[in-house]
């Protein structure tokens, strides 16, 4: 019976955690800092894609590059097969 009381007292002592008033501020600051460090990579792919898709000339240039790449691919294939 005494061991149960000791265990109960130990559990109550361990569960009494003092949480500071600024805990939520510290957590949110760390989350914000983590997101900023994660976003500060060498090359922002998402920003580059948004930059290209917001400009009609860039869209047309990408489409033209795709068409040109397709023609080059077909030309190389014919060259390899015929010569």
Instruction: Please write the tens of the pLDDT for every residue from 10-65.
Output: 888 877 777 778 888 889 999 988 888 776 667 778 888 888 889 999 999 999 99
Q: Is pLDDT at 68 greater than 90 in this prediction?
A: yes
User: What range does the domain containing 59 cover?
Assistant: 2-82
> What are the contacts of 17-24 at 24+ separation with CB within 8 A?
none
Cα 67 from Cα 61, distance rounded (Å): 10
Cα 50 from Cα 45, distance rounded (Å): 9
CB-CB contact of 62 with 68 (8 Å): no
- Structurally, the chain folds into a number of domains equal to 1
């Amino acid at each position: 019976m005494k061991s149960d009381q000791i265990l109960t007292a130990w559990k109550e002592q361990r569960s009494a955690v003092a949480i500071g008033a600024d805990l939520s501020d510290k957590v949110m600051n760390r989350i914000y800092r983590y997101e900023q460090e994660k976003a500060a990579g060498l090359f922002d792919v998402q920003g580059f894609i948004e930059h290209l898709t917001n400009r009609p000339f860039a869209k047309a240039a990408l489409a033209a590059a795709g068409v040109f790449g397709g023609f080059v691919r077909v030309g190389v294939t014919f060259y390899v097969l015929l010569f």
